[in-house]
Amino acid sequence: MPTLRHQRARGGASLGLVSGPHGTRIDELQQASPQRLLFPSPEPGEWLTAAMVNTAGGLAGGDAVTTRIALGPEARATLSAAAAEKIYRSLGPETEIGVTLDLAENAALEWIPQETIFFSGARLRRRIEARLAPGARLIMAEALVFGRAAHGETVVAGSLVDQWRIIGPDGPLWAEGLRLGEDIAGPLQSPFGMAGAGAMATLLLVAPEAEAMRDRLRLLLEDGPVRCGATLPRPGLMLARFLGEPLALRGALSSALSALREGAFGLPARLPRLWTT
């Protein structure tokens, strides 16, 4: 009797942006289901904005989605998402997500999708790589929510491999990897791991203002309900971590992003409308 195979998604999007006399414009756009890019009209003072949309509503085991964003010299853009991404329980295969960001000279990019919700039993492998030419600036934020707190769900099974690579004009700026194996419930609950917190986030800034922004975030977040810290691994690179319950973490991350947008990119001290509607 033949083995039944579930239908799997293999899609992604590729976006090229260039700077012209009237600002940043689309130079290339390719997309394949379930990934779509939409372009809402930006609010006054905002850059060209692209909204990532998963037309399937989420990703399951065996699905693979790749996103490639390339900015030409002086281009400016914000990449966000219309909703939280969902990684559903897997029947065995991993869900694969790949992100590649290429920034040419003096380009600036915000990569600020909304949360990724990790369901119990999910198996996620994600790789994010950003390559920056001289003068390029980058804000990156990624939040992971473990389980659906509103449904009383906790993550008791699953696996996660999350790799980040940030490469500057002279070589690697930052590289890290997080691996939680099939015993994922252990590190999520351990006092030496996430200590039962329902969500975590990483925020990264590559810009000359990195040191000043580190100090600003420390003051902004020191008395909040979320455990967080900001550091300067090397000149021009700021890294911040957040650990807490999902709603509180979202609030802290929103405050931090608003501060970075204003202080490092000269944008309004608010989040894009996608985050608030």
Block residue for tokens 């929103």: 254
4 found inside a domain: no
142 found inside a domain: yes
- Residue 251 backbone phi and psi in degrees, to 5: -65, -45
Nearest to 197 by CA among 158, 227, 239: 227
Number of domains in the chain: 1
Beta carbons within 10 angstroms of residue 46's beta carbon: 18
Please state, in angstroms and rounded to a whole number, the distance separating the CA atoms of residues 226 and 171.
33
1 found inside a domain: no
Please state, in angstroms and rounded to a whole number, the distance separating the CA atoms of residues 63 and 8.
5
95 found inside a domain: yes
Q: State pLDDT tens for residues 127-160.
A: 999 999 999 999 999 999 998 877 778 888 899 9
The whole-number pLDDT of residue 6 equals 62
Block residue for tokens 């004009």: 169
Tokens of 135: 């003068």
Q: pLDDT under 50 in the chain at which residues?
A: 1, 3-4
The whole-number pLDDT of residue 116 equals 96
Helix (H) or strand (E) holding 219: helix 210-221
Please state, in angstroms and rounded to a whole number, the distance separating the CA atoms of residues 268 and 88.
35
Beta carbons within 10 angstroms of residue 22's beta carbon: 6
197 found inside a domain: yes
Tokens of 194: 């996430």
What's at 88, amino acid-wise? Y
2 found inside a domain: no
Instruction: State the first-to-last Cα distance of the chain, in angstroms, to the nearest integer.
Output: 49
**255 touches 223 (CB < 8 A):** no
The whole-number pLDDT of residue 184 equals 87
**240 touches 256 (CB < 8 A):** yes
The whole-number pLDDT of residue 125 equals 97
45 found inside a domain: yes
The whole-number pLDDT of residue 4 equals 47
The whole-number pLDDT of residue 8 equals 74
Alpha carbon dihedral 209, 51, 166, 129, in 10-degree steps, equals 180
Please state, in angstroms and rounded to a whole number, the distance separating the CA atoms of residues 162 and 52.
20
Please state, in angstroms and rounded to a whole number, the distance separating the CA atoms of residues 199 and 218.
20
Residue 119 exposed, middle or buried by CB count within 10 Å (0-12, 13-18, 19+) = buried
51 found inside a domain: yes
CA 12 to chain centre: 16
Domain of 23, in residue numbers: 10-275
Q: State pLDDT tens for residues 7-44.
A: 677 899 999 999 999 899 999 999 999 999 999 998 89
Helix (H) or strand (E) holding 259: helix 246-265
Residues 6+ apart with CB under 8 A from 88: 58, 59, 60, 61, 95, 119, 122
**pTM for the structure as a whole:** 0.94
Nearest to 13 by CA among 68, 56, 50: 68
